[in-house]
Structure 1
């Protein structure tokens, strides 16, 4: 029952672990309506005119293979629930013709071409015919090469009217919604909180039933044509009954097939003899880039089948899953408003393709504050088939905790200040890293009033791929390795470069 709302007015279950009660938060005045001055995204132009600043928290210390360090805020479990922790622990809430910025590496590559006509019309085909052409008429700007920073010939965009630009955006969003709606579902969950001595403490009022049930809600989406529904683990965890509701209000009893707490994903199955379910189209989260359009669909606070929009405001994030000691890498950050009830719903690109599964928000109030996170769809591509086959997913495991090497730590270890890598702090006894001979930190140094571990191995490469942070280690292990796989690690030990071979194990609890 990780942080879910008790549907009694004025009472909210706040903390994932301690279940501390707190007040219900009003959403009045929190809605944000966006009308960008130029909707270049609607025309598939790789340009964003909305400027914003982001102050990055200090992730330099305390990151581990199990869970990276987090800023001092709270995150809200967005399954129709509110949760908080002292630190910002996890609290569960391919653009065609453009260049994709790869997380951390800075490399650029052309994304694959999607199918025209789904969601927003594509450049070339859309500008020659279709609704956008009806609006824009002959005032179609020439599209410059992606990344050139140019719209086209001088004065061409000035020929577009503000009304045409806004209407083009509206048509794109309408198409996204209409195409995705048949694939999005409301998930209603009930949990028996116990009876007699086990039930919650309430006044002794005549007529109160013996059994108490907690009722929560979330979102899911249709994975395939076999009746499989994907949602968040925290939406359906410990559920006694799960009901799936379609946009036409058809209700279906759902069977829980399995889940993966480490990625916060779960799979349900419903019987669909009438063929009412329409599978989503999956995108490619590796092709997602900063500033691209992001659309969230779901059921925030029970407001069924809502749509909100924003941009991708961060890529390659690593967050705590909230349900295990391990982290989720390559997470997408968005400012599209997502709130309790959006959990498990799709995050879509401008083509209506699913690029992520909405799971968390960072908030001090329990509601949207402009920082939301979605599990990348490429992780779901790994995890969901395994759940369908085995009911769970097994991850490879190294068995370390570590942190990023920052300049002061490098200097304290008599290394160049520009040394980067993942500093091994602790080794799990008898784990894969221990068996391979990796060494953890054996000393500490006081820096700015804080103890920093030093002296352990610094991982600088895995299988020849550069490692610059502990997040790189987590990302490589999750995305590129399997249990019992052998990997080669380059480490700096006592100022010298050494190479070790590690046979990975299976993550505990997998």
Structure 2
């Protein structure tokens, strides 16, 4: 009997010890006084000691707070029609394909997104021409969520600037215009807009270049280049400095994939203001025009014409019959080398020189004709409006 009891006791102890070993190996926390879900009794952390009402060092919050209420979202709709294409746009070019929203023909009404900048308490909004061109209906969303209709005052497709107007009642403060003379390469800038329709967004970067032309976006170009992220939907939005002042209207990006690649362009505020005032005061922009077909001089072309080495100018390959240049004595084959005493190096520079003279004024042209220099006086005309492509 004793041996039997001892055997039962030994078996029970063995089973308990085996159970304890298994638990101690697999679930040691079950045998601890520490709560099962805690590894340590307590932790100590250190929090920063600062005034939450003040800005963090290097913050641009004040600039954004000052300017953001003046940036609006623009929603446009157009009836069923052919896809909207900017005059002269190459639809295979990265500038066009991913920024201006090429769309296939569609029998359904289409809509698009963009941004704008409230510039006066009278309800004047600056944006891009390509944002509102051909729109049948324009809706504006303010930063406080209110929505209202807008009407077009006028636009200038050759600089891609448009002026629209909204109801001036209870509007947020308009943006403050900056001085383009104060903008320098390397300055920090902020882009505000509505990229991809996600809502009002701020991105930062620097001024990468000033006076950027020969980009091939607009007829008249003088862009601020920036690496601040600008994406589809930012068109017409504000490029501001760290004071919160407007220095440009965002207009285009270079992209191979539809998103920002660090190369964005904005129309400088002085040019945007000049176009806006011309549209409001005169109903449009008047530019000088002389009626010629200019062609850039290549090395091969210069040699074929027998021009002196290093000749700088443009070839007049055609002259409009009865136009200002024809009346002033300009002939096909002339090489234009200067306008009003300023050298002319390429076609784009000639366009700018003549446009700035304005219609009805006299332009002094210096040309080469059969190895002789001639000075011709031309009365400029008014530049025709560009043809639109539907």
1:286 CA displacement: 5.4
Of 255, 279, 296, the residue aligned with 1:363 is 255
Asked whether the equivalents of residues 227 and 277 of structure 1 are also in contact (C-alpha less than 8 Å), the reply is no
1:488 CA displacement: 0.7
- Match of residue 33 from structure 2: none
Query: TM-score scaled to structure 1, two decimals?
Result: 0.56
Q: 1:341 to 1:398 in 2, by over 3 A?
A: same
Of 331, 339, 364, the residue aligned with 1:488 is 364
- Rg larger for: 2
Q: 1:277 to 1:483 in 2, by over 3 A?
A: farther
1:408 CA displacement: 4.4
- Match of residue 26 from structure 1: none
Asked whether the equivalents of residues 362 and 368 of structure 1 are also in contact (C-alpha less than 8 Å), the reply is yes
Describe how 1:421-500 pairs up with structure 2 within 5 A. 421-440=313-332, 456-478=333-355, 480-500=356-376
Unaligned runs of 5+ in 2: 1-50, 82-103
- Match of residue 306 from structure 1: 201
1:287 CA displacement: 5.3
The structure with the largest helix share of the pair is 2
Asked whether the equivalents of residues 320 and 328 of structure 1 are also in contact (C-alpha less than 8 Å), the reply is no
Asked whether the equivalents of residues 258 and 267 of structure 1 are also in contact (C-alpha less than 8 Å), the reply is yes
- Match of residue 66 from structure 1: none
Please give the secondary structure, in 1, of the residue aligned with 2:172: coil
Please give the secondary structure, in 2, of the residue aligned with 1:212: coil
The answer on 1:292 being equivalent to 2:187 is yes
Please give the secondary structure, in 1, of the residue aligned with 2:64: helix
Asked whether the equivalents of residues 401 and 424 of structure 1 are also in contact (C-alpha less than 8 Å), the reply is yes
Q: Distance in 2 between matches of 1:421 and 1:365?
A: 38
The answer on 1:277 being equivalent to 2:172 is yes
Describe how 1:292-371 pairs up with structure 2 within 5 A. 292-316=187-211, 317-321=213-217, 327-371=219-263
Asked whether the equivalents of residues 482 and 504 of structure 1 are also in contact (C-alpha less than 8 Å), the reply is yes
Task: Compute the RMSD of aligned alpha carbons.
Answer: 2.7
Describe how 1:361-400 pairs up with structure 2 within 5 A. 361-400=253-292
- Residue by residue over 1:446-478, the C-alpha shift from the partner in whole angstroms, topping out at 9 and shown as x without a partner, is xxxxxxxxxx32322211223233232222233
Query: TM-score scaled to structure 2, two decimals?
Result: 0.72
- Residue by residue over 1:393-419, the C-alpha shift from the partner in whole angstroms, topping out at 9 and shown as x without a partner, is 222212233343344443443334332
Q: Distance in 1 between matches of 2:313 and 2:118?
A: 40
Please give the secondary structure, in 1, of the residue aligned with 2:270: helix
Q: Distance in 1 between matches of 2:362 and 2:127?
A: 33
Q: 1:201 to 1:191 in 2, by over 3 A?
A: closer
Please give the secondary structure, in 2, of the residue aligned with 1:254: strand
Q: Distance in 2 between matches of 1:287 and 1:459?
A: 35
Aligned length: 311
- Residue by residue over 1:162-210, the C-alpha shift from the partner in whole angstroms, topping out at 9 and shown as x without a partner, is xxxxx65x32x3232112112111111122227xxxxx988xxxxxxxx
